[in-house]
Structure 1
Amino acid sequence: MSKIQERLDTAPSGVSQQVRVARPVAPPRVSARRRRPGVIALSLALIAAGGAGVAVLLLQVGHRTEVVTVVRDVQVGQVRSEDDLGRASVALDPAVRAVRADDLQSVVGKRAAVELKSGSLLAPSQVTRDSLVKSGEQLVPVGLEPKEIPATALVPGQKLQLVHVPAQGTTEAGKPADAAVRTIDARVVKASGAAPGTGVVVVDVATSATDGPTAAAWEAEGALRLVLAAPDGS
């Protein structure tokens, strides 16, 4: 008989019973979960889609284009100088047309076809070489006293009417005193700032070639006034 058996036989009954009961404990059986191919395929598809989206975003962020920007406001018809323009590097959508920075010199010296605001990108369609005085038109300078200057700013391209206002108590030769007011359609080409001391503003207006001499004669008489057209130009 082995020594271990002797010890068990001689040990107290309570102790020997506990020793006999103690046995190695088997680990719990864990059943393998069934793998669902559909779920796995969906997970892989989502991971692939997310990776593709991140890749596209990184490409868009990384691909930047040097473009021309407007750094200060430019009125319609105003000739732009290089000081009016700047450069910026942007992630440009293919649908957005903008003047590339390499072409900056090609737009310097051109006129603004529309009003340009500081901070905006410059599009090719926003510039033109055409003058606001078109073929068949004449340019007439009109001097306005401070009380005759509209509170609304005069901007190039704005439509207006030149109104003949004879001095009070006078009439044109051969015309009755109650004759209809005479007007001439015109368009603002440029407006100067107020002259120091007098406050006079000179406005260059474009009229038809047939109306130009008449408008100049009204201006010489001091009998010409400006009436602005509606904001929509009608």
Structure 2
Amino acid sequence: MSKTKERTAAPTAGALPQQTQMAGPVAPPRVSARRRRPGVIALSLALIAAGGAGVAVLLLQVGDRTDVVTVVRDVQVGQVLTEQDLGKASVALDPAVKAVRVDKMDSVVGKRAAVELKPGSLLSPFQVTKDSLVKAGEQLVPVGLKPEQVPATALVPGQKVQLVHVPTQGAAAEAGEEPGTDGPRSIAGRVVKASKAAPGTGVVVVDVATTAADGPTVAAWVSADALRLVLDSPENT
């Protein structure tokens, strides 16, 4: 056989078999349709409805606001309230918070501040009083307390105290006082106002109401630096 015939009979390099050259079309995968269960649909609708109801309740709470009276400038203890001291605000008021409503503002104007009022705060009906902090037959005596004499318990208006006479030994001898067995003399009083500690010295001034008969005596004790302030127990207040 000649070389020419051998080349003709030899298969062509890289030629594919006949079966692979005639591949048929590929069918797409069959996807089964998912069946929707009525129970799942009902549960989804219930959750959506519950969420909408919660949002509605929240919006109602936020929208439920109350017009109340506020403090717009500093008011000292015992000072008479005027309309210029008060303002108005609309807030979502917690039921536990007691505040004067705007329609009751006239009932607090003309009353005295029972405590020190600060701007930006809500006005409570318990922060005002119609009574004068110094009653008839009383006198107001300022008592200066050094830092070591100031009680750790905060002094608040209305708190009852004892003003104790503690003269030095030399002062007692000059006054002709004999040391007694009954203890030092004391006078009952009531806190009307207590200032903040003075910068530098730390001295706190306490306005104490006493009877008109005891006022001059207390003032003399203060002048002689022979007075100490003692808090009464809560049972005595």
Q: Note whether the superposition's TM-score is higher than 0.5.
A: yes
Report sequence identity in percent: 64
* CA-to-aligned-CA distance 1:112-155 (integer Å, 9 cap, x gap): 34454443222223322133345xx73223355xxx44445975
| 8 Å Cα contact 2:162/2:232 also seen in 1 | no
Q: 2:214 and 2:84 mapped to 1: Cα distance? A: 39
Q: Please show how residues 23-34 of structure 1 align to structure 2 within 5 Å.
A: 29-34=30-35
| 8 Å Cα contact 2:142/2:208 also seen in 1 | no
Q: Please show how residues 22-171 of structure 1 align to structure 2 within 5 Å.
A: 29-74=30-75, 76-133=77-134, 138-142=137-141, 148-151=144-147, 152=150, 156-165=157-166, 167-171=171-175
| 8 Å Cα contact 1:68/1:86 also seen in 2 | yes
* CA-to-aligned-CA distance 1:170-226 (integer Å, 9 cap, x gap): 346xx6334521001201235799xxxxxxx9965333x5xx414434535756624
Deviates more, 1:156-165 or 1:40-49: 156-165
Residue of structure 2 equivalent to 1:6: none
* CA-to-aligned-CA distance 1:61-95 (integer Å, 9 cap, x gap): 33332211233454554433334322222122344
Q: Unaligned regions of 5+ residues in structure 2, if any?
A: 1-17, 197-203
Residue of structure 2 equivalent to 1:227: 229
| 8 Å Cα contact 1:76/1:111 also seen in 2 | yes
Let me know the Cα RMSD of the aligned residues.
Answer: 4.0
| 8 Å Cα contact 1:139/1:205 also seen in 2 | no
| 8 Å Cα contact 2:134/2:140 also seen in 1 | no
Residue of structure 1 equivalent to 2:8: none
Q: 1:106 and 1:90 mapped to 2: Cα distance? A: 20
Q: Unaligned regions of 5+ residues in structure 1, if any?
A: 1-13, 194-200
TM-score (norm 2): 0.62
Match of 1:185 among 185, 188, 192: 188
TM-score (norm 1): 0.63
| 8 Å Cα contact 2:77/2:113 also seen in 1 | yes
